[in-house]
Amino acid sequence: MNPAVEVMAFLLGFLGWILVGVALPNRYWKVSSVDGNVITTSTIYENLWMSCATDSTGVHNCRDFQSLLALSGYIQASRALMIASIVMGFFGIIATLVGMQCSKVGGENYVLKGRVAGIGGIFFLLQGLCTMISVSWYAFNITQEFFDPLYPGTKYEIGEGLYIGWCSATLAICGGSCLMCSCKLESTDEKVPYPYQPPTQITAYSGPVISQGPPSQYGRNQYV
């Protein structure tokens, strides 16, 4: 694989991992909607860990979720998937650094290094999938409650934290796909086997050597 493409794939996966760390503590995963409200005195916004409120004067107050088991199932699943995404991204970074051709770690066995880089690509793919499922599932519940006319609670809209998560998942999936292409199954320096051909046997002639000179011009009776 082209080392430049390999480095670019690593940068995409690494940037996706950084954006996961940015999206996870972001407070604006969902923001209370102002649709249908003439006067808005306060704005409520939440993420996976806390719920916050701010009024028109700029004073805001945040409250952490006290009980894990009291939360909705999709919030608990989103937490687990985002944490798993960070862990997968960490292992992907370590494996990719070891398997890159420009890295001296792991020796000069480029076949093995290519396979390690492919494993790093798998970790980046898992990171992107975990992030994508988490933010998409969270956004699905927001839109489902928003368009439900019988929902009695506060209706929310998609916040900036989800958009950061989608960007992170896209970068990680692209980087992981490129790294998986660097996995070498066979070495290009392998020797091609040739069939053994035994030497042909030549039979040696042990008889007298007959001289083949020019023919004589005299008959046998003319010799004394």
pLDDT tens, residue by residue, 114-165: 788 888 999 999 999 999 999 999 999 999 988 888 888 788 899 999 999 9
Phi and psi angles of residue 165, each rounded to the nearest 5 degrees, phi first? -65, -40
pLDDT in tens, 27-60: 999 998 876 554 566 788 899 999 888 887 778 8
Residue 146 lies in a domain: yes
The amino acid that residue 143 corresponds to is: T
Residue 189 lies in a domain: no
CA dihedral 55, 68, 133, 33 (to 10 degrees): -20
Q: What is the 3-state secondary structure (H, E, C) of 42-94?
A: EEEEECCCEEEEEECCCCEEEEECCCCCCCCHHHHHHHHHHHHHHHHHHHHHH
- Distances from the Cα of 190 to the Cαs of 110, 186, 196, 214, in angstroms? 13, 8, 18, 59
pTM assigned to the model: 0.75
The domain spanning residue 90 has which CATH number?
1.20.140.150
Q: Looking at the 3D structure of the chain, how many domains does it have?
A: 1
Residue 145 lies in a domain: yes
Q: Which residue has the higher pLDDT, 213 or 53?
A: 53
DSSP 8-state secondary structure symbol assigned to residue 127: H
Residue 165 lies in a domain: yes
Is 194 a residue whose pLDDT tops 50? no
Is 205 a residue whose pLDDT tops 60? no
Q: How does the average pLDDT of the chain come out, rounded?
A: 80
Domain hosting 167: range is 3-180
Share of the chain above pLDDT 70, in %: 74
Residue 94 lies in a domain: yes
